Amino acid sequence: MGRLRTITRRSFLVGSAAIAGGVAFGTYAVRQPHANPLAEGLGSGEATFNPWVRISPDRITLITPHADIGQGAVSMQAALIAEEMDLEWGEFDTDFGQPSAAYYNTAMAGEAAPFLSTDHSFGAEATRSAMGAMFKMMGFQGTGGSSSVADSFNKLRAAGATARETLKLAASQRTGVAASELKTEGGAVLLPDGTRLPYTELAAEAAALDPVQDVPLRDPSQWRLVGKPMQRLDVVAKSTGAQLYGIDLKLDSMVHAAVRVSPRRSALVSHDATAAEGMRGVKKIVPVTNGIAVVADNTWRAMTALDQITFEWAPAPYPAEMDGHWAEVGASFTEERLDKEWRNEGDVAAGMDGDGVVEAEYRTPYLAHQPMEPLNAVALVTDEGAEIWTSHQFPRFVQQKVAAVTGHDAGQVVLHNQFGGGSFGHRLEFENITLAAEIANQMRGTPVKLTFSREEDFAQDFPRQISMARGRGRVANGRIETVDLSIASVSSSRSQMGRIGMGVPGPDGQIVAGAWNAPYALPNLRVRGYAVPELAPTSSWRSVGASSNGFYIESFIDELCHAAGTDPMEERIRLCSYDVARKVLEAAAELSGWGSDLGAGRGRGVALVESFGVPVAEVVEVTATDAGIRIDKVCVVADVGTIVDPVNFENHMQGAVVWGLGHAMNCEITYADGMAEQTNFYTHEGMRMHQCPEILVKGLENGIHPKGIGEPPVPPAAPALANAIFAATGQRLREAPFNKFVDFL
């Protein structure tokens, strides 16, 4: 077992098909569930039936192990359990639980298996299954890749059903009434005579029973919660200032820390802290990896003292100026750097013969994550172990990272996961955590809260990948005949996984995600990915590769539509070979009134991108005013199979559109002298309210499997906007941010 774990960990293959047949697990080992972490430390009279439900004499606690970074994961998970368990909405506590292999995420594994959504071949299904088995075996607990709904949908309803049936069994044994005669409602078992036995009163008896397994799940027609508008459990707290985030926590005798770490990701050569020593409130100035931390009696005093320290940093391990970054990307369209030819249908070479050839080159910049809550962590290290309070999407890696700093075993590290004030991929990294642990390890017994200044957060942010695409295509007889798209990108997956000691030995699917799987059937279609060697280290940024690649392919398709003289919506619908995606396009056409006359100086653009298994179509409407482009309206349609909460779905569709548009319009991270030039929101803000258009949302449910909506509406936003600007002005934007080329109101 130990050895198998080591092997699977080391050969972890994200985005690689090579796993099929690559790792052989015995079926028994894979099926055997991980131990229930709630079983340890169960109090007297408490019951647990699975890793998600704990019942005490006075309360019901639902464990929601997927991190909540603003996407509503706690409410979603609780709703799925409560649905089958017959709990009243909100009549329970929730808890993120302790990191555990039992909370492995198989949906994330499915996403890493790179097959078209339409591909249900034996090879595709076998690989998905093998990836799932590997993630289960590894106990890979993670929140990301818009996978929380997909991972939870059956698992958590089953957890609720198991708990319900076991409680009914306990009631049956107490009363002698057959379980089949019992009903459940509002957190209680109902006897035929109307007597209510609250679950909490049955806990002790239920704890003595083997949980009832393999309970059939209810038909959707019986759902009380799922699919209906619900009030998120956190919305009142988040409207009253009562919601606590990691940054708000206060422990007895806690001290406050601020850090400065090399903005070049290099060594600290020298520093002078004389001016900071002796400042009011300063308790300690300590070294940390590549930097210095100041510990004080409040956050402001720590930050203020830190500003008095002078630093000299070693040169950056990547090109100091942007020209060097772009030169490396541009030089990567070579045989040696070909990561994989992902799609090759028809005959691209022959399809390029004749008139009507179109060529274009595109690029997208580094971007920062920068959620509103600056990264922070509270750490307490003692000789016996470590505790950490923070919001993170990979809880078990947090334990390992802290343990590596303090010298404890990972099992001696307790993570108190917190509600996160946004993430967008930021909480997949560990700098705030390892730095907090380093400081606390030098002050054992004293809790330390580390808060990044916004400037420190920008400097340490691992940005989105930069990449370029070159498209060649040909149109004939009013149709698109041939598309040949080559994308050269640094690999954010390899960069990110490298920092948790994992390789990505196969080709990286994120280099081409959103483009290679475009749901189009063309006579000739080729998509190739080229891996650019690591430049500035990068990480997953909301929708990852598709955030760039959706822009490339959907801009290029649009250029070809115009070259062919065909309508961009009609041609996409004609080409769309995936039924679920085509219906999304058709719904977007209807919602937006596609084809109606907008008048002079106005235009519509459309884009369709599938990412994380979810096709999303967006139609953007713009007006070219004398003062610049105004975005008037966006219509966005997605198909997630099953919508768990239509309100939260709408909110996230709107938010993801704002995210996608705002960054494409206004944002980039650039390096000068080896450092990110953008240090706060005034140079990298996303979108503010005055730029936010009306956003109409529609959700379809034709897809087979329930999917997440956190990321998929991001990729179509940029190309739909660029295509709309072209329609309104005739100006084609092939590079983001667009505000380098046009003004926005």
Partner 1 sequence: MQLTVNGKTYEADVEDDMPLLWVLRDELGLTGVKYGCGIAQCGACTVHIDGMAVRSCQTLAGSLEPGAEITTIEGLGAPDALHAVQQAWVEHQVAQCGYCQSGQIMQAAALLDMNPEPSDEEIDLVMSGNLCRCGTYVRIRAAIHAAADKLKEA
Q: Contact positions toward partner 1, by CB under 8 A? A: 69-72, 231-232, 234-245, 247-248, 250, 256, 280, 298-301, 370-374, 419-424, 451, 453-454, 647-648, 651-652, 654-659, 662, 680-682, 685-690, 692, 694-695
Whether the ω angle into residue 374 lies within 30 degrees of 0, i.e. cis, is no
Closest distance of CB 245 from partner 1, Å: 6
Euclidean distance between CA atoms 547 and 714, whole angstroms: 7
Closest distance of CB 216 from partner 1, Å: 33
Shorter beta-carbon distance to partner 1: residue 11 or 651? 651
Closest distance of CB 688 from partner 1, Å: 5
Q: Helix-strand-coil percent breakdown of the chain, rounded to 5?
A: 35, 25, 45
Closest distance of CB 677 from partner 1, Å: 16
Output DSSP code: residue 317. S
E strands in 400-466? 413-417, 448-451
Shorter beta-carbon distance to partner 1: residue 647 or 700? 647
Shorter beta-carbon distance to partner 1: residue 299 or 400? 299
Closest distance of CB 419 from partner 1, Å: 8
Shorter beta-carbon distance to partner 1: residue 268 or 736? 736
Closest distance of CB 146 from partner 1, Å: 14
Half-sphere exposure of 61 (CA within 13 A, CB side): 16
Closest distance of CB 236 from partner 1, Å: 5
Shorter beta-carbon distance to partner 1: residue 8 or 423? 423
Shorter beta-carbon distance to partner 1: residue 247 or 560? 247
Own/partner long-range contacts of 327-334 (Cβ < 8 Å, ≥24 apart):
328/532, 328/533, 328/535, 329/363, 329/466, 329/467, 329/468, 329/488, 329/489, 329/490, 329/532, 329/535, 330/468, 330/488, 332/488, 332/530, 332/531, 332/532, 332/533, 333/470, 333/486, 333/488, 333/530, 334/530
Euclidean distance between CA atoms 488 and 466, whole angstroms: 9
Closest distance of CB 232 from partner 1, Å: 6
Q: What angle do CA 421, 423, 424 make, to 5 degrees?
A: 140
Shorter beta-carbon distance to partner 1: residue 126 or 692? 692
Q: Which residues pair with 71 in a beta bridge?
A: none
Euclidean distance between CA atoms 435 and 451, whole angstroms: 10
553 with 660: CB under 8 angstroms? no
Shorter beta-carbon distance to partner 1: residue 131 or 709? 709
Output DSSP code: residue 38. T
Q: Residue-wise over 343-359: b if at least 16 C-beta within 10 A, else e?
A: beebebeebbeeebebe
418 with 391: CB under 8 angstroms? yes
Shorter beta-carbon distance to partner 1: residue 348 or 640? 640
Q: Which residues contact 343 (CB under 8 A, 6 or more apart)?
A: 516, 525, 526, 527
Reported as type and span, the H/E element at residue 65 is none
E strands in 45-143? 47-50, 53-55, 60-63, 93-95
Euclidean distance between CA atoms 137 and 129, whole angstroms: 12
Query: What's at 52, amino acid-wise?
Result: W
Closest distance of CB 242 from partner 1, Å: 6
Closest distance of CB 41 from partner 1, Å: 29
Closest distance of CB 432 from partner 1, Å: 14
Shorter beta-carbon distance to partner 1: residue 246 or 550? 246
Shorter beta-carbon distance to partner 1: residue 463 or 686? 686
301 with 256: CB under 8 angstroms? yes
Euclidean distance between CA atoms 607 and 596, whole angstroms: 18
Shorter beta-carbon distance to partner 1: residue 198 or 422? 422
Closest distance of CB 301 from partner 1, Å: 8
Closest distance of CB 263 from partner 1, Å: 17
Q: What angle do CA 648, 649, 654 make, to 5 degrees?
A: 95
Shorter beta-carbon distance to partner 1: residue 4 or 249? 249
Closest distance of CB 421 from partner 1, Å: 3
Shorter beta-carbon distance to partner 1: residue 688 or 740? 688
Closest distance of CB 227 from partner 1, Å: 16
Cβ atoms < 10 Å from Cβ of 212: 18
351 with 560: CB under 8 angstroms? no
Euclidean distance between CA atoms 79 and 82, whole angstroms: 5
Euclidean distance between CA atoms 338 and 257, whole angstroms: 45
Query: If you write DSSP's letter for every residue of 165-212 in order, what string do you get?
Result: HHHHHHHHHHH---GGG-EEETTEEE-TTS-EEEHHHHHHHHHTSPPP
Closest distance of CB 429 from partner 1, Å: 17
Closest distance of CB 622 from partner 1, Å: 17
SS3 state at 706 = coil
Shorter beta-carbon distance to partner 1: residue 17 or 450? 450
Closest distance of CB 724 from partner 1, Å: 18
Shorter beta-carbon distance to partner 1: residue 402 or 459? 459
Q: Which residues contact 682 (CB under 8 A, 6 or more apart)?
A: none
680 with 376: CB under 8 angstroms? no
Query: What's at 572, amino acid-wise?
Result: R
Query: If you write DSSP's letter for every residue of 233-296 in order, what string do you get?
Result: TTTTGGGTT----GGG---TT-EEEEEEE-TTSS-EEEEE-TTTTT-TTEEEEEEETTEEEEEE
Q: In which region does residue 364 sit, left (phi positive, over 0), alpha (psi from -120 to 50) or beta (all else)?
A: beta
SS3 state at 94 = strand
Shorter beta-carbon distance to partner 1: residue 395 or 686? 686
Shorter beta-carbon distance to partner 1: residue 206 or 658? 658
